[in-house]
């Protein structure tokens, strides 16, 4: 049986431990908090709670401690495993591990929630999410293969890049949006809470912990500052077009963004190949009626999601099926457009 350790059993570490257990791995758990370890053990998230000196005999160690502690922990794990275990981390910034003296494969699952801690962990957190795999100067090819296999077993989508590429790209699609969400709340929200669904959708991530995001901003500062400047320039162009009454340019700017976003909507990574968006009414029993139709026609629903915002999706219920045959039958049954 494979033996793998997870150090730091919070949202990400706990979710990795659960996903490993589902894949038949014997999981050792390390955490600084005894209550967290007890919770993980009683919830069958780990097989054994150990200290950092109990990691010998593991094939691999996932380091999932808070971002600012990652490098120190990787070094500490390297000191006890002496090159016998692959060490892989999950930190949101990858430049922090450059030059580290360890048998390292960098990793960053592009999944999470606004919540943290072991109680927020779930086995399917990484399903269909991108998972960046990062090679450092001393990373071994066979260790990349090993981590890639585990990432695939967790149903995530591995993508390979250098630490610098990762930090540039993560700044644009993850770090910058968090900065914007926080600023927008500060700028627009009034005491009476007057909002609409657009504001709520755009600012959901402003509910994330400010200490964590201060650490991300500190550790990826140059990229984020550069992207903030680029974004301010984009906003200034939009403002100038509006201010000058240049509606042709203004509309073209919005159109270009809408078209790009629409392409993304139907290639979203978390959709499997056989996913249908249904426009159901918000009324008692509407999900039950759809489910009954599927059941009566022998179509197995493998995933179901209620979409709070219908924007760009054209439906409030998203259903996934597992096979092409079921997909085609559902399309015929509900007279839907084939969007694959």
Residues near ligand NAP (CB under 6 A) are: 7-13, 30-33, 36, 64-67, 69-70, 90-92, 108-109, 112, 116-118
Kindly tell me the sign of the dihedral angle through the C-alpha atoms of 72, 77, 80, 84: negative
Residue of 91, 74, 82 whose CA lies nearest to 30: 74
Kindly tell me the sign of the dihedral angle through the C-alpha atoms of 148, 88, 139, 53: negative
Shortest reach from residue 6's CB to ligand NAP, in Å:
10
**Bridging pattern class, strands 130-134 and 104-109:** antiparallel
Cβ-based nearer residue to ligand NAP, 19 or 91: 91
Say if CB 321 and CB 274 are below 8 A apart.
yes
R_g (Cα) of the chain, nearest Å: 23
Cβ-based nearer residue to ligand NAP, 76 or 319: 76
Instruction: Give per-residue burial for 145-177: e unless 16+ CB within 10 Å, then b.
Output: ebbbebbeebbbbbbebebeebbbbbbeebbbb
Shortest reach from residue 32's CB to ligand NAP, in Å:
4
Shortest reach from residue 300's CB to ligand NAP, in Å:
31
Shortest reach from residue 241's CB to ligand NAP, in Å:
35
Cβ-based nearer residue to ligand NAP, 23 or 116: 116
Shortest reach from residue 174's CB to ligand NAP, in Å:
9
Shortest reach from residue 112's CB to ligand NAP, in Å:
2
How many helices (H) and strands (E) in the chain? 12, 11
Cβ-based nearer residue to ligand NAP, 67 or 317: 67
- Which residues lie across from 41 on neighbouring strands? none
Sheet bearing 26-30, strands edge to edge? 48-49, 26-30, 3-7, 60-63, 86-89, 104-109, 130-134, 157-161
Half-sphere exposure (Cβ direction) of 72: Cα atoms closer than 13 Å: 6
Cα distance between residue 86 and residue 15, in whole Å: 19
Cβ-based nearer residue to ligand NAP, 218 or 289: 218
Shortest reach from residue 90's CB to ligand NAP, in Å:
4
Cβ-based nearer residue to ligand NAP, 29 or 276: 29
Give residue number: closest CB to ligand NAP: 10
Sheet bearing 301-306, strands edge to edge? 275-278, 317-321, 301-306
Cβ-based nearer residue to ligand NAP, 13 or 330: 13
């Amino acid at each position: 049986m494979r033996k793998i350790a997870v150090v730091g059993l919070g949202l990400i570490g706990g979710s990795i431990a659960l996903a490993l257990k589902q894949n038949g791995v014997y999981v050792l758990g390390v955490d600084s908090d005894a209550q967290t370890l007890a919770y993980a053990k009683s919830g069958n998230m780990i097989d054994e709670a150990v200290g950092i000196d109990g990691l010998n005999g593991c094939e691999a160690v996932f380091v999932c401690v808070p971002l600012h502690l990652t490098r120190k922990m990787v070094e500490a794990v390297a000191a006890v495993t002496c090159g016998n275990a692959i060490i892989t981390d999950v930190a949101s910034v990858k430049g922090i591990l450059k030059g580290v003296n360890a048998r390292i494969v960098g990793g960053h699952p592009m999944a999470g929630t606004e919540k943290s801690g072991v109680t927020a962990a779930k086995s399917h957190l990484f399903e269909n999410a991108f998972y960046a795999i990062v090679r450092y100067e001393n990373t071994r090819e066979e260790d990349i293969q090993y981590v890639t296999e585990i990432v695939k077993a967790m149903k995530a989508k591995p993508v390979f890049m250098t630490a610098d590429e990762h930090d540039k790209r993560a700044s644009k699609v993850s770090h910058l949006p968090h900065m914007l969400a926080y600023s927008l709340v500060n700028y627009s929200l009034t005491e009476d809470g007057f909002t609409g669904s657009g504001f709520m959708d755009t600012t959901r991530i402003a509910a994330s912990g400010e200490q964590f995001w201060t650490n991300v901003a500190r550790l990826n500062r140059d990229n984020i500052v550069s992207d903030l400047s680029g974004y301010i320039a984009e906003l200034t162009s939009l403002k100038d077009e509006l201010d000058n009454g240049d509606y042709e340019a203004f509309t073209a700017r919005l159109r270009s963004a809408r078209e790009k976003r629409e392409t993304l909507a139907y290639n979203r990574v978390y959709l499997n190949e056989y996913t249908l968006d249904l426009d159901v009414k918000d009324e008692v029993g509407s999900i039950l009626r759809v489910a009954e139709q599927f059941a009566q026609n022998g179509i197995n629903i493998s995933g179901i999601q209620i979409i709070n915002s219908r924007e760009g999706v054209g439906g409030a219920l998203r259903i996934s099926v597992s096979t092409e045959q079921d997909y085609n039958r559902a399309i015929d049954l509900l007279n839907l457009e084939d969007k694959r």
